[in-house]
C-alpha cells in the first residue's frame, strides 16, 4: 500500500471554505519512456482519485500520464458539518490506496 499524505484542518467554523491537500507516492510511469536498449517502459499510472465527505462525492479527478510523479491535489470545501473525508486512488495493474481524515465544525 502506497503512502498517502492528507492535509485537512482538524477544525473549521461553520461556513468556512477549507482547503484539502492530498498527496500519494506513485511513480506515474508515462508509458512513453524507453530503456537504453530501446524497450518501452510500460505505463503505470494512477487513473482516478475520489474524495467523499460523509459518503457523498465532493471531488473527483481523472489522471493522465501528464500528471507528475507522486500526484498532488489541492481543492476546496465549504465546512457545513463535522464529518469524515474518504480518499481513494485507483490506478493501473490493480493499484488502489485509501486514506481518511476528519473535520469538526464549530459555531
Partner 1 sequence: MMDQQHETTRRHFLTLAASAAAAGALPVVTVRPAEATPAMLSAAIHNVVGEAPLRIGKVKLDIPPLVENGNTVPMMVSVDSPMTAEDHVKSIHVFNEKNPQPNIGNFYLSPLSGRAQVSTRIRLADSQKVTAIAHLSDGSFWQTSVDVVVTLAACTEEVL
Q: Is residue 34 a contact point for partner 1 (CB under 8 A)?
A: yes
Q: Is residue 55 a contact point for partner 1 (CB under 8 A)?
A: no
Q: Is residue 84 a contact point for partner 1 (CB under 8 A)?
A: no
58 φ/ψ angles, rounded to the nearest 5 degrees:
-100, -40
Which of the ranges 2-10, 28-36, 84-92, 95-103 carries the binding residues for partner 1, by CB under 8 A? 28-36
Instruction: Tell me which residue has cell 524507453.
Output: 34
Smallest separation, CB 12 to partner 1 (Å): 11
Q: Which is nearer to partner 1, 10 or 36 (CB)?
A: 36
Q: Is 69 helix (H, G, I), strand (E, B) or coil?
A: coil
Instruction: Tell me which residue has cell 485537512.
Output: 8
Number of residues lying near partner 1 (CB under 8 A): 35
Is residue 8 within 8 A of residue 99, CB to CB? The reply is: no
DSSP secondary structure code for residue 36 in this structure: T
Q: Is residue 41 a contact point for partner 1 (CB under 8 A)?
A: yes
For the chain, state the CA radius of gyration.
16
Smallest separation, CB 99 to partner 1 (Å): 17
Amino acid at each position: 500500500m502506497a503512502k498517502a499524505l492528507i492535509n485537512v484542518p482538524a477544525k473549521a467554523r461553520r461556513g468556512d471554505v477549507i482547503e484539502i491537500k492530498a498527496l500519494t507516492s506513485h511513480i506515474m510511469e508515462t508509458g512513453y519512456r524507453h530503456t537504453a536498449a530501446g524497450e518501452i517502459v510500460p505505463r503505470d499510472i494512477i487513473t482516478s482519485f475520489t474524495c467523499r465527505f460523509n459518503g457523498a462525492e465532493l471531488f473527483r479527478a481523472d489522471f493522465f500520464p501528464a500528471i507528475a510523479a507522486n500526484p498532488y491535489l489541492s481543492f476546496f470545501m465549504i465546512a457545513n458539518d463535522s464529518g469524515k473525508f474518504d480518499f481513494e486512488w485507483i490506478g493501473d495493474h490493480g493499484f488502489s490506496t485509501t486514506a481518511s481524515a476528519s473535520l469538526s465544525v464549530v459555531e
